[in-house]
Amino acid sequence: MNEKIELGDRVKDKISGLKGVAVGVTYWLYGCRRFVIQPEEGKDGKPADTFVVDEPQLDLVKKGVVQPPQVAPPSEPVAPAPRRHGTRNDPGRMNDPKRM
Protein backbone atom coordinates (compact mmCIF):
# COMPACT_ATOMS: atom_id res chain seq x y z
CA MET A 1 0.00 0.00 0.00
CA ASN A 2 1.36 3.40 -1.00
CA GLU A 3 1.09 5.94 1.77
CA LYS A 4 0.83 9.57 0.76
CA ILE A 5 4.05 11.50 1.29
CA GLU A 6 3.72 14.59 3.48
CA LEU A 7 6.05 17.36 4.62
CA GLY A 8 8.44 16.13 7.29
CA ASP A 9 8.62 12.54 5.96
CA ARG A 10 11.95 10.88 5.19
CA VAL A 11 12.00 9.81 1.55
CA LYS A 12 14.35 8.22 -0.98
CA ASP A 13 14.71 9.10 -4.65
CA LYS A 14 14.23 5.91 -6.69
CA ILE A 15 16.64 7.03 -9.42
CA SER A 16 19.57 8.64 -7.60
CA GLY A 17 19.20 6.82 -4.28
CA LEU A 18 19.48 10.09 -2.34
CA LYS A 19 17.59 10.27 0.95
CA GLY A 20 16.28 13.29 2.77
CA VAL A 21 13.33 15.00 4.41
CA ALA A 22 10.47 16.50 2.41
CA VAL A 23 10.61 20.23 3.24
CA GLY A 24 8.46 21.70 0.47
CA VAL A 25 5.74 20.75 -1.98
CA THR A 26 4.42 22.40 -5.14
CA TYR A 27 1.36 21.59 -7.22
CA TRP A 28 1.54 22.07 -10.98
CA LEU A 29 -1.15 22.85 -13.53
CA TYR A 30 -1.58 19.32 -14.91
CA GLY A 31 -1.63 17.51 -11.58
CA CYS A 32 2.07 17.00 -11.01
CA ARG A 33 3.03 17.14 -7.34
CA ARG A 34 6.73 17.89 -6.74
CA PHE A 35 8.64 17.72 -3.46
CA VAL A 36 11.67 19.71 -2.31
CA ILE A 37 14.00 17.29 -0.50
CA GLN A 38 16.64 18.36 2.04
CA PRO A 39 19.37 15.71 2.38
CA GLU A 40 20.34 14.97 5.97
CA GLU A 41 24.02 14.32 5.27
CA GLY A 42 26.37 16.90 3.88
CA LYS A 43 29.86 16.80 2.45
CA ASP A 44 32.78 18.02 4.55
CA GLY A 45 30.47 19.33 7.28
CA LYS A 46 28.57 21.57 4.85
CA PRO A 47 24.81 21.21 4.35
CA ALA A 48 23.83 19.56 1.09
CA ASP A 49 21.74 21.39 -1.50
CA THR A 50 18.04 20.65 -1.76
CA PHE A 51 16.68 18.91 -4.84
CA VAL A 52 13.22 18.67 -6.40
CA VAL A 53 11.55 15.39 -7.40
CA ASP A 54 8.15 14.33 -8.76
CA GLU A 55 6.14 12.43 -6.16
CA PRO A 56 5.99 9.09 -8.08
CA GLN A 57 9.80 9.06 -8.12
CA LEU A 58 9.95 8.95 -4.29
CA ASP A 59 9.74 6.04 -1.87
CA LEU A 60 8.54 6.72 1.68
CA VAL A 61 11.21 5.67 4.19
CA LYS A 62 9.68 6.91 7.46
CA LYS A 63 6.64 9.04 8.31
CA GLY A 64 6.85 12.18 10.45
CA VAL A 65 10.61 12.47 11.00
CA VAL A 66 10.20 16.23 11.41
CA GLN A 67 6.95 17.76 12.61
CA PRO A 68 5.98 20.91 10.70
CA PRO A 69 5.08 23.84 12.97
CA GLN A 70 1.42 24.52 13.56
CA VAL A 71 0.58 27.61 11.56
CA ALA A 72 -2.40 29.78 12.43
CA PRO A 73 -4.88 30.32 9.61
CA PRO A 74 -4.47 33.63 7.81
CA SER A 75 -6.35 36.48 9.40
CA GLU A 76 -8.67 38.85 7.61
CA PRO A 77 -6.90 41.64 5.71
CA VAL A 78 -6.54 44.80 7.74
CA ALA A 79 -7.60 48.11 6.20
CA PRO A 80 -4.82 50.69 6.05
CA ALA A 81 -4.89 53.33 8.78
CA PRO A 82 -6.44 56.63 7.72
CA ARG A 83 -3.99 59.40 6.90
CA ARG A 84 -3.64 61.76 9.83
CA HIS A 85 -2.19 64.72 8.01
CA GLY A 86 -3.66 67.17 5.57
CA THR A 87 -2.43 68.40 2.28
CA ARG A 88 0.90 70.14 2.22
CA ASN A 89 1.43 73.47 0.54
CA ASP A 90 4.35 72.90 -1.74
CA PRO A 91 6.20 76.17 -2.06
CA GLY A 92 7.68 75.11 -5.36
CA ARG A 93 10.59 77.32 -6.31
CA MET A 94 11.57 80.27 -4.14
CA ASN A 95 11.61 83.72 -5.70
CA ASP A 96 14.89 84.91 -7.13
CA PRO A 97 16.69 87.38 -4.88
CA LYS A 98 16.31 91.02 -5.93
CA ARG A 99 19.41 92.95 -6.90
CA MET A 100 19.86 96.50 -5.89
Domain count, the chain: 1
Q: Is residue 30 part of a domain?
A: yes
Q: Is residue 19 part of a domain?
A: yes
Q: Which domain holds residue 24?
A: 10-61
Q: Is residue 16 part of a domain?
A: yes
**37 strand-pairing partners:** 22, 51
The arrangement of strands across the sheet holding 33-38 comes to: 51-54, 33-38, 19-27, 10-13, 58-62
Q: Is residue 47 part of a domain?
A: yes
Q: Is residue 38 part of a domain?
A: yes
d(CA 61, CA 34): 17
Q: What is the Cα 100 distance to its own chain's centre?
A: 69
pTM: 0.64
- Condensed to tens digits (0 to 9), the pLDDT of residues 41-93 reads 777 878 889 999 999 999 999 999 998 778 777 677 777 777 666 666 666 66
pLDDT value, residue 19: 93
Q: Angle CA(2)–CA(4)–CA(8) in degrees, nearest 5?
A: 130
Q: Is residue 20 part of a domain?
A: yes
Q: Is residue 2 part of a domain?
A: no
Contact 60, 37 (CB under 8 A): no
